[in-house]
Chain A
Amino acid sequence: MTKTKVMNWLQKNTMILILVLVVLFFTWQTQGKILLPQNITNLIAQNAYVFILATGMLLCILTGGNIDLSVGSVVCFAGAVGALLMAKGMNMWLAVLVMLAIGLLVGGLQAFCIAYIHVPPFITTLAGQLIFRGLSNVILNGRTQTVNVQMFKDVFGGGATCYVPDLLGGGEGMNLLCLVVGIIACVIYLALTARTRITRIKKGYAVDSLVSTIVRSVVIVAVLMFVTVKLSQYKGIPSALIWVALVVAVYAYITSKTTMGRYLYAVGGNEKATKLSGIDTRKVYFFAYTNMGFLAALAGILTIARMASAQPTYGDSYEMDAISSCFIGGASAYGGVGTVPGVIIGAVLMGVINLGMSVMGIDQNFQKVVKGAVLLAAVIFDVISKRNDTK
């Protein structure tokens, strides 16, 4: 019985364990360099767009295996428009609103084609990928447009000063605000975990064993505090992290606690039954794809802020990074294909592997081989776990 419990626990937390092993491996190979505060900050800043796009892609995938191939192009297009507007002197916040509006419009147009005209999502978004990549080239005229608005870069995560200032006045080498925020985050997490467990027990639902819950909570709190301390030893909370945390929190709530979240799962599970239940499935598809456009625009804002420029090549393969994160994060039994935490863990795993290989100075082609091997391993794991489910 104990052996089964351990096996069940391992199966449920496979991705977290793999992530820990990968981090330990790269820590050993890089002599601890990967855990330097600057590298952890880079991990967050360089992968912020993946976290945001993967979260949006999850909602599309939940509707029944549908993906959005246009996100990379929308990132590029929205970023290009924003950079050009700011270069012409437009107020930064107005430019941000325009970029988000573009994302909503693009997402809405594609969503309308998918939901109401019933063009297959693959075709619609493939067309979107080509159209908006082309438009990006047209409006940028094949050139790079620099972004010189310092406040924009600071707020959205670009440059050397894109960190939340230490309002609590910590000393050199220790950002006090960052530490306090980290501690508060840990307390909130523990409180939510305890409350969820108590509520589930009261309602008579099955819960994991207390030991399993405590172990998982301790591991997560330890990781959170480790990252917090590392960030506070560098320059504090990077602004990109705030946007990522906001998106993850909002969408984790939407997918787990709202009616629309339940509808997304319902449509993906059985569209006919959902329709017969009286739910307008077209609105669900419309929401998923419009939302994806919005998040792609947000990712575009973060991209041009980090790079301090807009180029026609930005966003290349971003959709594949997002889809890979969704697949890797969902390939284990940790919540299946449909949870925001699973997707974030998938994105972090890919980010750690990319960063680790860069720190080790591994050739780009070898990095692609490793990336491909990780994806293949996720596929094989998925095949084996599905085969075991039939036994």
Chain B
Amino acid sequence: MDKEKKSIFNAPLNMDGSTRVTLLVVVGGYLIYMAYQMVRDTLSGVSSMGLTTTLILAGLMALAGIAVIGYGVCLWSFSRKKKDEQKSEETDEE
């Protein structure tokens, strides 16, 4: 049997697979929401952070959130692909 190439997308999801994907998507969304809150607070004067600093940090946070969501979605689609492959293998064996 060929050794599967190990990557961050091949990690077996096992018991907590759907848990991880959901949490990753939610955490990513929260990071994006916090980035929005930062910009809102600076513009409304609640925070004393400079606008440029806020935009840079919020931008980085939003990018991180998008990356986390993207990772979660890729993880889910990889696991679905694997499940479909396993199903078709089982069908072939029958």
Contacts and interface: CB of A to CB of B under 8 A. Distances in A.
Given A67-B26, A376-B31, A376-B64, A61 B19 contact: yes
A122 B19 CA distance: 13
B6 A364 contact: no
B73 interface: no
Contacts of B18: 64-65
A323 B26 contact: yes
Interface in A346-375: 363-366, 368-369, 371-372, 375
A363 B49 contact: yes
A138 interface: no
A338 B18 CA distance: 13
A379 B27 contact: yes
A270 B38 CA distance: 40
Interface in A117-146: 122
B16 interface: yes
Given A372-B61, A389-B12, A390-B11, A323 B49 contact: no
B8 A337 contact: no
A375 B28 CA distance: 9
B10 interface: yes
A383 interface: yes
A364 B46 contact: yes
A66 B8 CA distance: 23
Given A65-B23, A323-B27, A323-B30, A387 B47 contact: no
B85 interface: no
Nearest to A66: B22
B84 interface: no
B1 to A, nearest CB: 15
Mostly helix, strand, loop or mixed at chain B's interface? helix
Interface in B1-27: 6-8, 10-12, 15-24, 26-27
Q: How large is the interface on A (under 10, 10 to 19, 20 to 34, 35 or more residues)?
A: 35 or more
Mostly helix, strand, loop or mixed at chain A's interface? helix
Contact of B61 (A326, A338, A369): A369
Contacts of A61: 19, 22-23
A372 B19 contact: no
Interface string B24-63: 1011001101110110011000111100001001000100
A67 B22 contact: yes
Given A64-B18, A268-B19, A365-B41, A376 B8 contact: no
Report which residue of B12, B18, B21 has the largest number of chain A beta carbons within 10 angstroms of its beta carbon: B18
Nearest to B68: A379
Contacts of B38: 365, 368-369
Contacts of A379: 24, 27, 68, 71
Contacts of A376: 31, 64, 68
B22 A324 contact: no
A72 B33 CA distance: 16
Contact of A386 (B11, B26, B49, B57): B11
A122 B21 CA distance: 13
Contact of B42 (A270, A365, A378): A365
A118 to B, nearest CB: 16
Contacts of A383: 8, 11, 71
Contacts of A64: 18-19
A366 B12 CA distance: 36
B77 to A, nearest CB: 15
Contacts of B54: 365
Contact of A326 (B23, B47, B48): B23
Interface string A57-68: 000010011110
Interface of A: 61, 64-67, 122, 268-270, 320, 323-324, 326-327, 336-338, 363-366, 368-369, 371-372, 375-376, 378-379, 382-383, 386-387, 389-391
Interface of B: 6-8, 10-12, 15-24, 26-27, 30-31, 33-35, 37-38, 41-42, 46-49, 54, 57, 61, 64, 68, 71
Given A67-B22, A337-B23, 19 more contacts: A65-B17, A323-B27, A323-B30, A324-B27, A324-B30, A336-B16, A337-B19, A363-B47, A364-B41, A365-B41, A372-B31, A372-B64, A375-B27, A375-B31, A376-B31, A376-B68, A383-B8, A383-B71, A390-B6
